[in-house]
Structure 1
């Protein structure tokens, strides 16, 4: 009898560990290559793991927002950060293009709920619009003020951009060429950090940056007026598949609390700490949480 008990102990231990694993619920957060959704993922991670029994697993550097959306739809991700202007990327019909920020956000919120069964939460509070910026040499030599000013010498300029913009329909590079009626000498899709490193090394003349990018200021780049109103508004928001919303009401409540919590200036400062000071997204996120009283 004693021998049988001894043999059963490892098995019993394994069963107990297995049972613990089954109760260890995990929330999956997917992010694009940008720094801001990575910071936000760790902010959500910090609050969820502080207040609940759940763990948060973060998958970073998804190539483009459409892939994030597919993973949300298939249940591979529970939460992501998306931008209102994503509504113009041909995910569903019936969308009317406008540069009005409120209308863009409304169409995104209602459209993704109807067609994808997502909850598109209210705004986090910051805007991450596309901007066209030229390096210091181009700014000094040509002094462009508007995007259309580049037309006369665009065939001499090399463009750097994120992979998403090259692939986007409606407000991506293909439609940009039609709207402004010019093309650049070369266009390269790359990681945002590598893009700004290429600017610093004089390998790129112009980039599609984002309004929260601190590198634009750090590298003395000049942003140009979008005089043909090509770029829509990109206001950040958390998005979750509704299975997660229904199954984890505590997480849903946390995402609602984070609405209107980070403005554009604050997000730019957080990104500066990561991209230019070399700190990790996790460290910066948890510092913000501690400083602003989010953790118990």
Structure 2
């Protein structure tokens, strides 16, 4: 190899090395970049875009989005590995049962929140921030005609009618011990005529089409709005609290203390009805999550138009 070729290869090698070093600097929250992780749902992607926009508008930090994290255990592992420093959305009930491995915890939302906040701090050195304001929990939902026919407003109202009604729910809930069907029947003193296991994505159409009378759904799912369904109040607080919050590694907060005030700008700003409407914009109206985030933050006065 002649001198010219050796110089060329050396130059290319150094260029590649420089790119690798720059890329490496952003990993692990180094330099002026933080990694923000989220799961593959409209809800999480919308919130993640809100956080990115708020952080970049109110600090000198750059946010690298890390999407497609398939569940809370994956998110937790990514945070423990420092692949991400911020989790856009974590749910109280999920972390209590999954991350902290608890089988019993308070029904009172405030007590459950305090428990997960303290537990995540002690076990993982992560800070659980105040809730956005919405609760993505299990809910029973029916068509309006069924609600009107039986005068249904809360789950206890089903006691006189459940024996005539067909329920559709995901298969896992029928077998879970602590917050599944067996415990539910005991808590509310009722049993449906038939409980049909079904993929969660199919239950909404099943109740809309009259194939079943009632379904177990998620409280911020856009299809509640799309199909104009009526949700029933969990008046005995059977289901765990699934209020949503951002969670941040404490070493990232020490390095970038400005993050605390920025993330708290969204505390209490998004109730369950609002989150359902935002999901509807993504899932039904097919708007981009970044566009939805921008519009919401602007309307709230958190971003300049």
TM-score of the alignment, normalized to the shorter chain, above 0.5: yes
Count the aligned residue pairs.
Answer: 290
- State the shift of 1:174 in Å: 4.4
Q: Which residue of 2 aligns with 1:160?
A: 169
**More RCO (CA 8 Å, sep 6+):** 1
Distance 1:57 1:147, change over 3 A: same
Aligned residues: CA RMSD:
3.6
Give the alignment's TM-score, normalised by structure 1: 0.77
- Which runs of 5 or more residues in structure 2 are unaligned? 28-33
Give the alignment's TM-score, normalised by structure 2: 0.75
- State the shift of 1:22 in Å: 1.9
In 2, Cα distance between the equivalents of 1:43 and 1:167?
Answer: 37
Aligned with residue 292 of structure 2, among 277, 280, 284 = 284
In 1, Cα distance between the equivalents of 2:218 and 2:11?
Answer: 58
Deviations 1:183-230 (Å, cap 9, x if unpaired)? 542132424xx5434444444432233444454344232222334331
- Which runs of 5 or more residues in structure 1 are unaligned? none
| Counterpart contact for 2:37–2:69, Cα < 8 Å | no
**Following superposition of structure 1 onto structure 2, how do residues 41-190 of structure 1 map, counting pairs within 5 Å?**
41-50=48-57, 51-60=59-68, 62-63=70-71, 65=72, 68-73=75-80, 75=82, 77-78=84-85, 79-86=87-94, 89=97, 91-92=100-101, 96-98=105-107, 100-136=108-144, 138-139=146-147, 141-150=149-158, 152-154=161-163, 156-161=165-170, 170-181=178-189, 182=191, 184-190=194-200
In 1, Cα distance between the equivalents of 2:64 and 2:24?
Answer: 15
| Counterpart contact for 1:131–1:208, Cα < 8 Å | yes
| Counterpart contact for 2:78–2:84, Cα < 8 Å | yes
Deviations 1:19-73 (Å, cap 9, x if unpaired)? 221223451413264x32221111122334554453422323735x455445544
**Following superposition of structure 1 onto structure 2, how do residues 267-282 of structure 1 map, counting pairs within 5 Å?**
267-282=275-290
In 1, Cα distance between the equivalents of 2:174 and 2:303?
Answer: 38
